[in-house]
Chains A and B, each alone.
Chain A
Amino acid sequence: MRLCCSGVRLTRGRFDMIADGVFEPGIHLVSGRIGSGKSTLAHILAGVRPPAAGVVSAEGITTTGLLMQFSEYHVTAPTVAGEIRSWGPEPEAILAETGLTGREGDHPLRLSRGELRRLHLACMLAQPWDLLILDEPFSALDGRQKELLCRRLEQRPAGIVIIMTHEPLHLPACDMLWEIVQGTLMYRGRIPDALPAWDGAPSQVRSLLDRGVVPENITPAAIREARCRIRG
């Protein structure tokens, strides 16, 4: 199974971007500054928006899940229970997992933004997707929830997971690194070998790289471990 972009061109308002590359099974991190086109790329990779030019071909991919940047855009039902059913699962298990038991009759937009995010993530992760695209999945989550999400993503069965984010700290162990720089999607390579080439590395990773230390991965634990290596 793989997702191929060939000669893909994205345009949206004042913005223009080109993307070429192949996404193999594993966890891919796509980093880029705000306004660099991460969300537009997510929509095109998920097939919900056609590219201005080029082709996105999904080989051996039968199911695709897309988590949009703003959770409120996902809401289609007037109750929390209805919102869960709209994704497929039965409400009880999801309510218990997200700590929202008792809120099933509330309108989803009465939840806090973090709670709504948790709800949608739980509904999505309850299903097996061949291709799972997550646009800023960590935003609005608290530190504990970010770490839980990281562990769940790492434990998912083989498939392609693409995470668009600028979360600086709570990141899962990733396999491949991509970066959008000046309107071009660049494949930086496999982690950790790709890390020294990461222009937009978060400051914690950058401070290690500047001292010639490459962490094993980009999780907080791997970064802490690498920091210990410097101190000896």
Chain B
Amino acid sequence: MIEISALRHLILDIPLLRIPEGHCMVIGGNGAGKSTLLGLCAGMQVPLSGSVAIGGREPRSSQVGWVAEFPDRTLVFESVADEIASSLRFQHRSCAEIRREVDACAERMGISHLLSASTRELSGGERVLVALAAAIIARPLLLVLDDVDAHLDERSANAVQAAIAHSGTGHVVQSTQNMETAAAGDWIVCLEKGQVIHSGTPETVFDALAGSWLYPESWRG
């Protein structure tokens, strides 16, 4: 359970929000506060007032995987293999184990052919896939993904959702502008002008949003 209480931070004003374990999708218009909320959950920002807790602990004392809305900002290393291996290396795992994990993770993400490439020569979509692989490989307690599907084609986006589902991570918080993707989540939080206007299962939230631009195209009669 992620619990946010009495939160006031920049545009966000959230008296109480509880997100159950599973895959939570954060939706809303541009500038609604999605990235700010995700940054707080990832511990990239600390609330000005109020609190964010993941299973009762602060984000900064939990293991969190994070892919930013500007994917360039999370790529640190020169080669793709080093980038994906980085979080396991910081845990001082053995070289043999790291190599095995990196190969398996790259294969699941469909990016084995990129392992020897430089992170600088990747296309926009490939950067997102590499950043995501680096974020999920250490099986974090929480995975925070900011609009990762914006740079992906449909097939890659589906592969990514499958890789996330099999990542073994208990909590995923993901923002998206694709309502078909959002509808496949376990939980939806809808933001407007910094406030949570809906929070619940996809059925209940999209029921409340029927007739709005956020309603999934494939659900329309």
Contact = CB atoms under 8 A, between A and B. Distances in A.
A139 B151 contact: yes
Contacts of B156: 33-34
Contact of B179 (A114, A143, A204): A143
A72 B118 CA distance: 21
A14 B129 CA distance: 17
Interface residues of B, number: 35
Given A34-B153, A143-B179, A69 B31 contact: no
Interface in A138-163: 139-147
Contacts of A146: 177
A7 interface: no
B154 interface: yes
Interface in B151-186: 151-156, 177-180
A166 B147 contact: no
Contacts of B101: none
Nearest to A109: B70
B97 interface: no
Interface in A1-47: 12-14, 32-39
B119 to A, nearest CB: 11
A70 B70 contact: yes
A112 B177 contact: no
B154 A166 contact: yes
Nearest to A145: B30
A37 B29 CA distance: 30
Given A112-B35, A140-B150, A143-B213, A14 B30 contact: no
B124 A140 contact: no
B123 A34 contact: yes
B1 interface: no
Contacts of B35: 112-113
Contacts of B31: 99, 111-112, 114-115
A118 B218 CA distance: 26
Contacts of B30: 112, 114-115, 117-118, 140-142, 145
A144 B123 contact: no
A142 B177 contact: yes
Interface centre among B118, B129, B152 (most CB of A within 10 A): B152
